[in-house]
Structure 1
Amino acid sequence: MPRFSVVVPVFKVQGFLRECLDSVLTQSFTDLELIGVDDHSPDGSGRILDEYAARDTRVRALHLPVNGGLGRARNAGVESARGDYLLFLDSDDSYLPGALAAIDRQLRACGDPDLLVFDHQRSYWWGKAEPSVFGDQLAGPGTRTFTVAERPELLTLFHVAWNKAYRRAFYRREGLGFEPGLYEDAPLSHEAMVCARSIGCLPRVCVDYRQRYQGAITRSPGREHFDIFPQYASLFAFVARRPELAAHRAVLFERMVSHLVFCLRRRDRVRPADRRAYFRQAARHYRAHRPPGFRPPPHAARDFGMLARRSYPLFAARERVRRTAGTVRRTKRRVRRTAGRAAYRGYYALQRRLPLRADLAVYSAYWGRGVACNPAAIADRARELAPQLHAVWIVRRDAVAALPPGTDYVVPHSRRYWWVLARATFFVNNVNFPDHLVKRPGQRHIMTHHGTPLKTMGLDQQPYPAAASMNFRDLLRRAGRWDFSVTANPHSAEVWDRVFPCPYEDLPAGYPRNDRLVTATSRDITAVRERLGIPRGRIALLYAPTMRDYRRGYVPRLDLERLSAGLGEEYVLLVRTHYYYGRDPALGELHARGLVRDMSRHPSTEDLCLAADALITDYSSVMFDYANLDRPIVVHAPDWDSYRDARGVYFDLLSGRPGETPGPVTRTEDELTAVFRDGTWRGPASRALRAAFRTRFCPYDDGHAAERVVRRTLLDQPPEALPPMIPLTDRHPAPPAEAPAPPPVIIETPHPTPTPGTPPTPEPLN
């Protein structure tokens, strides 16, 4: 029988769940079981629980047939628990290192009490963490234990389920359990406190209580917050059934009324339209449960008095006065900020009063750089599936000349630009639209993204130097406009869910731009190579490095002239620098000499991928797209440590583990040359790594991604009407153009860094 049973209820938390589970399973204290309860979650949370259960015998995954809410999920976990003590951990929170060992030590020091209360910290989405206000109060008792009768102030501690360890025998003896609905923590926490024969305290911060930007039900306004009334009714019914608890009614009543008023004042809980009804119900609870002779606490006497007198108009008037000062200050700032923009926004504001055009779709890619990437693939498919929609592209002035013939476009800040922003119904982009776009009711935003994340993104960038100048509040305001987020694999879905925590629909469609990679034929590839001027029989290598956040300007990580000479005549080296960088004179000079092909300004990355027999990259997301072709990938990572430390990464690309490393890894130019000269680049170890990488990151890219996006977002068809996913085993990537195998060359100098091999049996990856 384990010491602890940690119950984790799970619903729509795929972006946070791994961190939560890892925080339990990596504790130095290991005598535990973790019971994850999938409350019929519609995202990937249940799959993640099963993954952890498969690789750690301490984990059990329960899957509920219907969604029953947090309370019922916790109750289901308790029924399966076998530990001496029950602990509840919300699935977007986590334990701090050493927390369980500290809890166990204090339990033993206190003589294994019925209940142990421990401290927590609040962790905000912008990176700030602050301790609770209960530290001193928890530190006072030391290792002594008390009852609430002896220390009534114990009832003023935070009334949540997850800051306590409950002796399971005590929990079952008292018939404790969670009620359905919101605020389910309040009655159970108070019932446990008043019933416990011994309560210990631990001042150590054990739980990181995450304050999410969006998604927390307690900060989502609506009628659900009226659940607080039946919850407190159940608490007083519990006390009424036990005459020995009558002495605690006054403190419990004060706690209830303070909680009711707190929620009433919060705009993110009770909506203005519901405040009068909420106040009336709170007043009824006040009269129904007020103990005889109760005297309100001095600091809250006015609030208690208004509830006692059922005086909502007086309460509302006081609230208006309290909020007016803040509103005036905010209004002055807003007027100053918008005055200078009034001239060119007036037209935009006027157009926003007119009806939306249901036949108008706005597209943009890479901040107006042209017709490209996922938006281009969606627009192309929409011409066939939704011909009633007219496409208009937002394009920078310097990119107009390169537009495909017949493209309808607007230049930013032109008169027609403001017209299409105001009147269009659909907005498709692989980056965020500008801050000045005002999303109208009825407009629909589709975020396609433009890569699978290896480097940290969104809120996960906050600890890293590369994000020092980023405004994360603005970033989340932009993400808050999304209606759909198109994802290419479960890894991306989990990351976006956590780092852009906004109420959009995850659309696991695959990347539309990759449809071409999956459906291309040998004839298509031959045609692309001919257009690029790649001689028949030559092996084309695409070198596509990414940008460096910690360096300014393009800094080549390879001596391309030396690499070209080392590879020999049988290879053609195509070089594509990141689009952030301008033209590089040195690269242009090598191109002019015929040593490399500078493809940095070629309009189609997909063309280059189709033409290449292998990819050389460092940390660019092109590797995830290229894996769809099932062709060799070589990772050249001379500055991995610097890149990782400056930007942060989600997995160790150089580990050599299947699913993390897509092929051979090199750190020097000599190693890179040797990998191609001795055939390692396409050997059996390379194929094995590539297969695992493709399985993990290419499950959705089956050639129908654009169709799924068009049908779901532009035609509003339900998910079940979308084309079913074709399994990887049934896909047949187009082969590269025929090229003779280079003769084997014996390399006298061994590789300083061995090429990663295939470990025996890998554990499932996070």
Structure 2
Amino acid sequence: MVRFSVVVPVFKVQGYLRECLDSVLEQSFTDLELIAVDDRSPDHSGSILDEYEARDPRVRVLHLRENVGLGRARNAGVAHAEGEYLLFLDSDDSYLPGALEAVDAQLTACRDPDVLVFDHQRSYWWGRREPSSFGRQLAATGTQTFSAAENPDLLTLFHVAWNKAYRRAFYEEEGLSFAPGLYEDAPVSNEAMVCARTIGCLPRVCVDYRQRHRGAITRSPGRRHFDIFPQYASMFAFLDRRPHLEAHRRLLFERMVSHLVFCLRRGERVRPADRRAYFRHAARHYRTHQPPGFAPPRRAARDFWLLAHDAYPLFAARETVRRARGRTWRGARAASRGLARRYHRLYYALQRRLPLEDDLAVYAAYWYRGAACNPAAIEERARQLAPHLRNVWIVKPEAVATLPPAADHVVPGSPRYWRTLARAKYFVNNVNFPDHLVKRPGQIHVMTHHGTPLKTMGLDQQPYPAAAQMSFRKLLSRADRWDVSVTSNPHSAEVWDRVYPCAHEDLPAGYPRNDRYATATAEEIAGIRARLGIPRGRIALLYAPTARDYRKGFVPRLDLERLSAGLGEEYVLLVRTHYYYGRNSVLRELHARGLVRDVSRHPSTEDLCLAADALITDYSSLMFDYANLDRPLVVHAPDWESYRDSRGVYFDLLSGRPGETPGPVTRTEEELTAVFRSGTWRGPEARALRAAFRARFCPWDDGRAAERVVRSVLLGEDTAALPTVLPLSERPVAPSPEEAEAAVAPDPDLTTWGLGTTLWPASDGLDQPPTPAP
């Protein structure tokens, strides 16, 4: 018997079907059968199914003689299922990578419950992805199981068919089946939940729930939405045949009424011309199925009262008022924003008439995301070398908690923000300040940048549509505000001079954020590794891929679970996604299982580099910084041609030529694993490539870059008097992790991640230690 039977009903989805089927068949978990039911689809869906059946023995296709609808198509698939568990997947949706393996693991951890509920995300046609609101509720149960009687809140989870795994024996014993018509999910989902003796939960996002622009049944208005009434009538008939489930009637009734009103309020479901008739049907259902002594919930008491009294005129009048109030509120909010903008412009203009404050320096990084990167290193050094200056960070409200202790800050849009922009003398940023900043005579702007360019930047992006989503005229007007451009190597200086052809001066100081790679001590490095939970003697690999301009969202170019297994217990894999991306559910799930360390929201990239024995990256500028440590670098570039052609690059990273390629290059997961298992990653050829790369891109990073910037810009010292750059052969380099652990004895007072402490804020959601990898 296979573990899973995945039933996929198919009708008019030829554009989405391959993605759906591939998402099942390409899962890392393979003990499954896929039963695809062609519901007499008029497009090419049937032939696509036959194609998949011919090439994969796990696929079974049923071609129905007539169109029977989604529910009965599912029933047909269930009749042919042989798996231990039934799963339903709509043919325009898909499973996320690793979903079925996670479902199987949680089923085992929960001792094979009757039902397992898992999480999903909504994926909108314009590219937005939105997590469900059920993640925290699903996570609360851990690996415990409950019945709905023991935990009634389980009945408030999303009542659809495709977010659950049903034990097939249980499903058949209870006689569960889908009725014809729309909203067929609700009865079966609720019936299964109230009948199940054991229900488990999995907070991992497993299903990508596609929100189509057109074609979705629930977004096609018409009388078909009246199907909701017989669906709920069948659910209450199911309860009538099972008196032992009577205790659930009140909550299911409340859920039904909320669902009826939800549909009534949506024009894409119930048309205005049908609302009166729909309301009367709903009122009749209310009276028919209302439990004795039922008290409506407070949050929707008026809706329940109106249905109970069949008061459609009052409901319609209330809806008119509600919509008008919404328009009024939106209009008032827009007007309020307009007034605030005018006030701020006036206040800012008045403040610009007042004298500059020569002791005020403003710092910002990554569009006000917090104290980080080169500006943070400069500000820290300024506190030592220029204590007379008042240093102020501009940060968004959500980043205030991440600031260093006692750091002064302003929040964008506040009166003090506008005053600071108007009066400060020094401005230090690693990206451009907003367009509303007006540079006054006497103000000095320092652009630190935040990476050495491999990909094209500035005006060089113009031939590449994937990158050129900007106004280059505005870009240059922002660069015109720069007085100083801090550069880390001659390559960067040449590029910045060409792509930002403005009047700023180049300061060849090195990157201030890289100072730590020369100054960090063995004690620091050992402490960082301990807090990250890296066991002593293990090899830590930092995998840090960059963003892709030619596609949205973080798409792992590696099967991280398989890579972790292939590397073996000798290695610990740290994974850091680009800051453009939000949280990744697959990565978080692997983190929770202890297979990788998700360090995507760790506040210090420098800490991660110091902790890592080697860096795996693709095209990230982190490779240029990491080369300062003189530690192994591996380039994993499976999509080099796509990246190169869509974004443009300044040199051939994969050429193998000294000064261009920093170490071994891999194109497949198998090659990457082999590089580490064979020792190639730290062999003589890798060392030679790294030495040439370091010589080209790290000539000025000797640990005193921040000092050069402070002395030159904030203290006004002559450039000729700045600290002389130490040659590579003479400069200090932070100890390797192996050297650090050899020099520092384990500290029993240092709490490690394994004991439940993390180095980054608990608000990130990664405040739980990973479980040990099996």
Question: TM-score, structure 2 length as denominator?
Answer: 0.51
Partner of 1:385: 385
How far 1:344 sits from its partner (Å)?
1.9
Q: Deviations over 1:367-424 (max 9, x none)?
A: 0110000000000000010001111111011212222221211111111100000000
Quote the Cα distance in structure 2 between the aligned partners of 1:466 and 1:606. Answer: 29
1:371 aligns with 2:391: no
1:351-366 → structure 2 map (5 Å cutoff): 351-366=351-366
Give the aligned length: 404
1:150-169 → structure 2 map (5 Å cutoff): none
Partner of 2:611: 611
Quote the Cα distance in structure 2 between the aligned partners of 1:339 and 1:467. Answer: 35
Quote the Cα distance in structure 1 between the aligned partners of 2:740 and 2:358. Answer: 54
Quote the Cα distance in structure 1 between the aligned partners of 2:739 and 2:418. Answer: 52
CA contact (8 A) 2:522 2:740 kept: no
Partner of 1:394: 394
Quote the Cα distance in structure 2 between the aligned partners of 1:469 and 1:496. Answer: 19
1:13-32 → structure 2 map (5 Å cutoff): none
Quote the Cα distance in structure 2 between the aligned partners of 1:412 and 1:428. Answer: 16
CA contact (8 A) 2:702 2:732 kept: no
Quote the Cα distance in structure 1 between the aligned partners of 2:363 and 2:620. Answer: 24
Where 1:616 maps in the other structure, the secondary structure is strand
Structure 2 counterpart of 1:360, which letter?
Answer: L
Partner of 2:728: 728
Q: Deviations over 1:307-343 (max 9, x none)?
A: xxxxxxxxxxxxxxxxxxxxxxxxxxxxxxx999433
CA contact (8 A) 1:536 1:739 kept: no
Quote the Cα distance in structure 1 between the aligned partners of 2:656 and 2:740. Answer: 29
Quote the Cα distance in structure 2 between the aligned partners of 1:344 and 1:726. Answer: 48
Structure 1 counterpart of 2:586, which letter?
Answer: A
How far 1:468 sits from its partner (Å)?
3.6
Quote the Cα distance in structure 2 between the aligned partners of 1:657 and 1:576. Answer: 28
Structure 1 counterpart of 2:348, which letter?
Answer: Y
Where 1:416 maps in the other structure, the secondary structure is helix
Where 1:681 maps in the other structure, the secondary structure is helix
Quote the Cα distance in structure 2 between the aligned partners of 1:679 and 1:732. Answer: 26
Identity of aligned residues (%): 78
How far 1:501 sits from its partner (Å)?
0.4
Structure 2 counterpart of 1:568, which letter?
Answer: G
- Structure 2 alignment gaps of length 5 or more: 1-337, 742-774
Q: Deviations over 1:221-276 (max 9, x none)?
A: xxxxxxxxxxxxxxxxxxxxxxxxxxxxxxxxxxxxxxxxxxxxxxxxxxxxxxxx
Partner of 1:643: 643
- RMSD, aligned α-carbons: 1.6
Partner of 2:706: 706
CA contact (8 A) 1:712 1:719 kept: yes
Where 1:370 maps in the other structure, the secondary structure is coil
1:428-443 → structure 2 map (5 Å cutoff): 428-443=428-443
Change (3 A) 1:470 1:678: same
1:507 aligns with 2:496: no
Question: TM-score, structure 1 length as denominator?
Answer: 0.52
CA contact (8 A) 2:522 2:739 kept: no
Partner of 2:671: 671
Structure 1 counterpart of 2:534, which letter?
Answer: I
Q: Deviations over 1:123-180 (max 9, x none)?
A: xxxxxxxxxxxxxxxxxxxxxxxxxxxxxxxxxxxxxxxxxxxxxxxxxxxxxxxxxx
Partner of 1:445: 445
1:460 aligns with 2:433: no
Quote the Cα distance in structure 2 between the aligned partners of 1:687 and 1:483. Answer: 39
1:477 aligns with 2:477: yes
Where 1:481 maps in the other structure, the secondary structure is coil
Partner of 1:412: 412
Quote the Cα distance in structure 1 between the aligned partners of 2:394 and 2:340. Answer: 24
Partner of 1:632: 632
Quote the Cα distance in structure 2 between the aligned partners of 1:399 and 1:377. Answer: 18
Partner of 1:556: 556
1:210-609 → structure 2 map (5 Å cutoff): 341-609=341-609
Partner of 2:177: none
Change (3 A) 1:396 1:740: closer
Partner of 1:248: none
Q: Deviations over 1:673-713 (max 9, x none)?
A: 00000000000000000000000000000000000000001
Quote the Cα distance in structure 2 between the aligned partners of 1:735 and 1:418. Answer: 44
CA contact (8 A) 2:632 2:663 kept: yes
Where 2:662 maps in the other structure, the secondary structure is coil
Structure 1 counterpart of 2:477, which letter?
Answer: R
Structure 1 counterpart of 2:700, which letter?
Answer: Y
Where 1:362 maps in the other structure, the secondary structure is strand
Where 2:454 maps in the other structure, the secondary structure is coil
Quote the Cα distance in structure 2 between the aligned partners of 1:603 and 1:404. Answer: 11
Quote the Cα distance in structure 2 between the aligned partners of 1:394 and 1:466. Answer: 30
Where 2:642 maps in the other structure, the secondary structure is helix
Q: Tell me which moved more, 528-537 or 661-670.
A: 528-537
CA contact (8 A) 2:525 2:740 kept: no
How far 1:467 sits from its partner (Å)?
2.9
CA contact (8 A) 1:537 1:739 kept: no
How far 1:530 sits from its partner (Å)?
1.4
Where 2:588 maps in the other structure, the secondary structure is helix
Structure 1 counterpart of 2:452, which letter?
Answer: T
CA contact (8 A) 1:431 1:449 kept: yes
CA contact (8 A) 1:537 1:740 kept: no
Quote the Cα distance in structure 2 between the aligned partners of 1:738 and 1:732. Answer: 17
1:738-753 → structure 2 map (5 Å cutoff): 738=738
Structure 2 counterpart of 1:562, which letter?
Answer: R
Change (3 A) 1:340 1:369: closer
CA contact (8 A) 1:538 1:739 kept: no
Structure 1 counterpart of 2:585, which letter?
Answer: P
How far 1:731 sits from its partner (Å)?
1.8
